[in-house]
Amino acid sequence: MLLLWILMWMIGILLLLADFKNTSARWASATTFCGGVGGLSVVIGEQIKPLFESNSDVFQYLLLAENITAFVSDYLTPYSFIFFGLSYSEMVPRKYIRILQYFLFIPVIGMIMFYPIYPTFVVPYSLATFWVVPYILAGIILLIWSYIMEKNPFTKRSRFYTCLAFIPTMIYAVTTSYFLRIMDIEEGWRYNYWIALFLFVVSITSLFRFGLVGVRLRVQRQSLNYSIQQLTAETSVMNHGMKNDLGLIKLYGEKIKNYAMTTNQVNLQSDIDIILQMHEKMQNTMMRIQQQTKDQKLYIGEYRVVDMVERCLYQSKAKLKDSGIKVMNSMKCDLTICCDRLLIEEVLNNIVSNAIEAMPSGGKLTISMDENRRNVLLIFKDTGTGISKEHFPRILEPFFSTKSNPRENFGLGLSFCYNVINKHGGKIDFYSKNKKGTTVYLAFPKKRGRVLWKRFVS
């Protein structure tokens, strides 16, 4: 049981450390903490308490601690789990979840009133089953439903492993802790450490490979946010220094050019023209880098997504035609978002440009739009070369590029896209298979958009 307690708490701590602001991660952590407390209760009752039988005061305190931890494990685990399912599935608005937190706590209060914790804690398993089982069953259904309804393959895989980690664990736990005890099989719960070990292995594997409760993505993006902030600061310093040096090059270059013209030195004039052209090219390069790395200020308005996509496609019309790319526009719904139109259109241009470069011999670009309760979803799917497994984890890194012309491609396009979407409170995800194409998912929050719009108007 000591192993069960340690493993469950390790999972809970990892979830909290990875993404404390994530509500579903907090409820998942609460579920593992409460479940692990059951192991602590057994450790207190069977290993620590017997050591103090001669000391009645300490013994009574330990008895109280044993009863409290057993209460937490038996009653608060299903309570935490149903709210984990509610928050993770995003089926119920947060304001209603807050109300349900009080309403669904009523059975727990009833258990305290009619079956006190001290001096003797007795769990009426037959009675508790009437609310514990529905709570756990509801949480399981919500997790399964969130997996079925997920359209993003990247997130869907994370949801699958979340279901794999929690659903078998909760079914096993309720069976050994409730159903078997109802049938007078008292010792079945002692094997719960096996399912705890299963949960630990699946959770750790998922956290570092696929994501669990959306946490892996958060860890990666915290690192990416730091890299972009550092890049923005360093680029500003570099631009300031380079601007002064380039200004001096232009100043003295024009003086030498004027001198060459007055003295009729044609060769010198030609050489200085080359220097000034290089100066202009370096200046334009620095401006492009600064434009894609600077901290963008948002000018929020409400715009139709269809209009922004159509403008982007119109600007890329010639490139799409020359590359032999067929555009399948299947945006059936007409939705609006609150955003900075120029920045979002630049993001869309980057995505379409990448798709064109990925299909040099032609192909198909499918654009679709969908919505769920919280987000407007915009999806770009191409049939291009795709992204290899070794390059995929680095596609959002600043200055990382797989393109053949490093002088024209700085590897800042997708970093810029991520930064803009992140500032809008949205998400950008990628799903790609080498030589089979890439799909880009953009999610714009509805609620966040309304808040931004109200702030802008006020």
Q: Are residues 83 and 30 in the same domain?
A: yes
Residue type, 376: V
Q: What is the mean pLDDT of residues 380-397?
A: 78
Q: Give percent of the chain with pLDDT exceeding 90.
A: 19
Asked which of 166, 189, 211 is the last residue of a domain, the reply is 211
Residues 257-280: pLDDT tens digits?
A: 888 888 888 888 888 888 888 777
Asked which of 156, 188, 211 is the last residue of a domain, the reply is 211
Q: Give percent of the chain with pLDDT exceeding 70.
A: 80
Predicted pLDDT at 238: 56
**Rounded Cα distance, 290 and 227, in Å:** 15
Is the pLDDT assigned to residue 195 strictly greater than 50?
yes
Q: Reduced to 3 states, what is the DSSP secondary structure of residue 381?
A: strand
Q: Are residues 150 and 249 in the same domain?
A: no
pLDDT band at 454 (very low <50, low <70, confident <90, very high): very low
Is the pLDDT assigned to residue 391 strictly greater than 60?
yes
Asked whether the beta carbons of 131 and 168 are under 8 A apart, the reply is no
Is the pLDDT assigned to residue 6 strictly greater than 80?
yes
Number of domains in the chain: 3
Q: Are residues 375 and 343 in the same domain?
A: yes
Residue 315 in any domain: the answer is: yes
Full 3-state SS string of 153-170: HHHHHHHHHHHHHHHHHH
- What is Dmax (Cα atoms) for the chain? 111
Q: What is the mean pLDDT of residues 353-381?
A: 87
Is the pLDDT assigned to residue 235 strictly greater than 60?
no
pLDDT band at 130 (very low <50, low <70, confident <90, very high): very high
Residue 56 in any domain: the answer is: yes
**Rounded Cα distance, 124 and 181, in Å:** 10
Q: Are residues 171 and 287 in the same domain?
A: no
pLDDT band at 72 (very low <50, low <70, confident <90, very high): very high
pLDDT band at 449 (very low <50, low <70, confident <90, very high): very low
Q: Are residues 240 and 289 in the same domain?
A: yes
Q: Are residues 279 and 337 in the same domain?
A: no
Q: What is the pTM of this model?
A: 0.65
Q: What is the mean pLDDT of residues 119-146?
A: 92
Residue 216 in any domain: the answer is: no
Give me the CATH number covering residue 312: 3.30.565.10
Asked whether the beta carbons of 316 and 356 are under 8 A apart, the reply is yes
Residue 162 in any domain: the answer is: yes
Structural domain of residue 25, as residue ranges? 2-211
Q: What is the mean pLDDT of residues 162-181?
A: 89
Predicted pLDDT at 227: 52
Q: Are residues 154 and 245 in the same domain?
A: no
**Rounded Cα distance, 9 and 200, in Å:** 10
Residue that wins the pLDDT comparison between 446 and 65: 65
Is the pLDDT assigned to residue 43 strictly greater than 80?
yes
Q: Are residues 262 and 411 in the same domain?
A: no
User: Which own/partner contact pairs does 342-348 have at CB distance under 8 Å and 24+ positions apart?
Assistant: 342/299, 343/296, 343/298, 343/420, 344/303, 344/308, 344/420, 344/424, 345/308, 345/311, 345/312, 346/416, 346/420, 347/416, 347/417, 347/420, 347/421, 347/442, 348/308, 348/309, 348/312
Beta bridge partners, 367, equal 329, 380
Predicted pLDDT at 410: 46
* Residue 358 exposed, middle or buried by CB count within 10 Å (0-12, 13-18, 19+): buried
Q: What is the mean pLDDT of residues 117-141?
A: 91
Is the pLDDT assigned to residue 136 strictly greater than 80?
yes
Cβ count within 10 A of residue 375 = 22
Residues 197-226: pLDDT tens digits?
A: 888 888 887 776 666 665 554 445 555 554
Predicted pLDDT at 229: 54
Q: What is the mean pLDDT of residues 101-125?
A: 90
Q: Are residues 384 and 281 in the same domain?
A: no
Residue indicated by tokens 């309570």: 79
Residue 29 in any domain: the answer is: yes
pLDDT band at 412 (very low <50, low <70, confident <90, very high): low
Tokens of 321: 């035609």
Residue that wins the pLDDT comparison between 294 and 17: 17
Asked which of 256, 274, 293 is the last residue of a domain, the reply is 293
Span between the terminal Cα atoms of the chain, in Å: 57
Cβ count within 10 A of residue 230 = 11
Average pLDDT over all residues of the chain: 80
Q: Reduced to 3 states, what is the DSSP secondary structure of residue 361?
A: coil
Residue 345 in any domain: the answer is: yes
Predicted pLDDT at 123: 86
Predicted pLDDT at 138: 96
Q: Are residues 288 and 398 in the same domain?
A: no
Tokens of 26: 């907090």
Asked whether the beta carbons of 249 and 243 are under 8 A apart, the reply is no
**Rounded Cα distance, 328 and 183, in Å:** 60
Residue 362 in any domain: the answer is: yes
Q: Are residues 311 and 169 in the same domain?
A: no
C-alpha dihedral (102, 106, 109, 110), degrees to nearest 10: 170
Predicted pLDDT at 219: 43
Torsions phi, psi for 159 (to 5 deg): -65, -35
Q: Are residues 74 and 193 in the same domain?
A: yes
Q: What is the mean pLDDT of residues 30-42?
A: 89
Q: Reduced to 3 states, what is the DSSP secondary structure of residue 327?
A: strand
Residues 6+ away with beta carbon under 8 Å from 319: 353, 356
